[in-house]
């Protein structure tokens, strides 16, 4: 009835598998849990324990194929019609996590997103940026997510039927530069496949350092630029690229770039400090994107 699909890379996924397995066993539905390792070098012995659980498998790809391709491969390997995609570095909040998703299985063409939470306690200083961003921009209530139901969709915790997934899939031709979530949600919207938001969150455990997160944010902006330039994504779909378009319309790119270059060091000091501001983060990202577009 349901295939749980987990891509992993250099992460111990067995604690997540164990929790899911226990809930699935209690549900009495037909299930499988498939973990695919994208050619990583760590945690092989820990993850191999998955293979000792009924209807569960863990295998390692010979080479890294990227975030989009591995999700498509997982869907291809799945034997059941209902697909539950989860990232490896998450843990369900509720003991009814699986049963909640099972209750949303029907014949409607849709994707069901359960949401995300982050730890309540403030992390170490060098991880605060990711934590602040996650809590302010991702860990949203159902009501808040429904205000922009496609853009608030993340691919780390969602249910979709195999037949619906086949209509959109993840685009394997884009560079491995983030923004797969954005493109996938845009493709769902273009295909008129509804996104249903429910309260069935996971906790995201893998907090990276502020410096690493900032680098990933810059990569995601390079990815956004690529998607727009190659007409895979509308510039109006994402707020940041829409803002850039307005600056360009009134020939204000040069003025903003001067502002960005003048205050860039101050922005970075704030973002890598103990109290990063999301307002400053937005200013920095817009400036970085504008610099990309005006090269």
pLDDT digits (tens, 9 = 90+) for 166-212: 999 999 888 776 788 899 999 999 999 999 999 999 999 878 999 99
Task: Tokens 């960005």: give the residue.
Answer: 260
Tell the burial category of 130 from Cβ atoms under 10 Å away from its Cβ (0-12, 13-18, 19+): buried
**What average pLDDT does the chain have?**
94
Q: Please, what is the angle between helix 239-249 and helix 210-229, to 10°?
A: 60
pLDDT tens by residue, 27-84? 989 999 999 999 999 999 999 999 999 999 999 999 999 999 999 999 999 999 999 9
Q: Are 232 and 183 in contact (CB under 8 A)?
A: yes
Instruction: Return left, alpha or beta for 28; rule: phi > 0 is left, psi -120 to 50 is alpha, else beta.
Output: left
> Which pLDDT band holds residue 159 (cuts at 50, 70, 90)?
very high
Please give the Cα distance from 14 to 202 (Å, whole number).
16
Largest Cα–Cα distance of the chain, in whole Å? 62
Q: How confident is the model at residue 95 (pLDDT cuts 50, 70, 90)?
A: very high
pTM, to two decimals: 0.93
**Please, which residues bridge with residue 59 across strands?**
36
- Cβ(193)–Cβ(164) under 8 Å? yes
Topology, domain 2-115+154-206: Spore Coat Polysaccharide Biosynthesis Protein SpsA; Chain A (3.90.550)
> Quick one: residue 273, left, alpha or beta (phi over 0 = left, psi -120 to 50 = alpha)?
beta
Specify the domain boundaries for CATH 3.90.550.10 within the chain. 2-115+154-206
* pLDDT for the residue numbered 174: 83
Phi-psi region of 279 (alpha: psi -120 to 50; beta: other; left: phi over 0): alpha
């Amino acid at each position: 009835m349901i295939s749980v699909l987990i891509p992993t890379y250099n992460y111990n996924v067995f604690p997540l598998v164990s929790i899911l397995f226990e809930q699935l066993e209690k549900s009495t539905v037909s299930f499988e849990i498939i973990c695919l390792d994208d050619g990583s070098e760590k945690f092989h012995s820990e993850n191999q324990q998955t293979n000792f659980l009924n209807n569960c498998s863990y295998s390692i790809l010979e080479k890294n194929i990227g975030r989009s391709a591995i999700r498509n491969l997982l869907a291809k390997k799945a034997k059941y019609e209902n697909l539950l995609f989860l990232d490896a570095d998450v843990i369900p909040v509720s003991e009814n996590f699986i049963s909640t998703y099972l209750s949303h299985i029907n014949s409607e063409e849709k994707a069901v997103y359960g949401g995300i939470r982050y730890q309540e306690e403030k992390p170490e200083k060098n991880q605060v940026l990711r934590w602040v961003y996650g809590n302010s921009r991702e860990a949203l209530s159902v009501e808040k997510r429904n205000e922009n139901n496609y853009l608030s969709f993340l691919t780390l915790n969602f249910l979709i039927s195999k037949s619906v997934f086949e209509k959109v899939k993840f685009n394997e031709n884009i560079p491995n530069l983030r923004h797969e979530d954005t493109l996938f949600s845009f493709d769902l919207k273009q295909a008129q496949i509804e996104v249903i938001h429910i309260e069935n969150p996971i906790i995201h455990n893998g907090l990276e350092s502020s410096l690493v997160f900032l680098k990933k944010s810059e990569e995601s902006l390079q990815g956004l630029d690529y998607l727009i330039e190659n007409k895979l994504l509308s510039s109006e779909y994402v707020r940041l690229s829409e803002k850039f378009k307005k600056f360009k319309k009134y020939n204000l790119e040069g003025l903003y770039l001067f502002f960005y270059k003048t205050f860039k060091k101050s922005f970075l000091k704030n973002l890598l400090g103990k109290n990063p501001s999301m307002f400053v983060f937005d200013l920095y990202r817009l400036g970085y994107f504008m610099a990309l577009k005006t090269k």
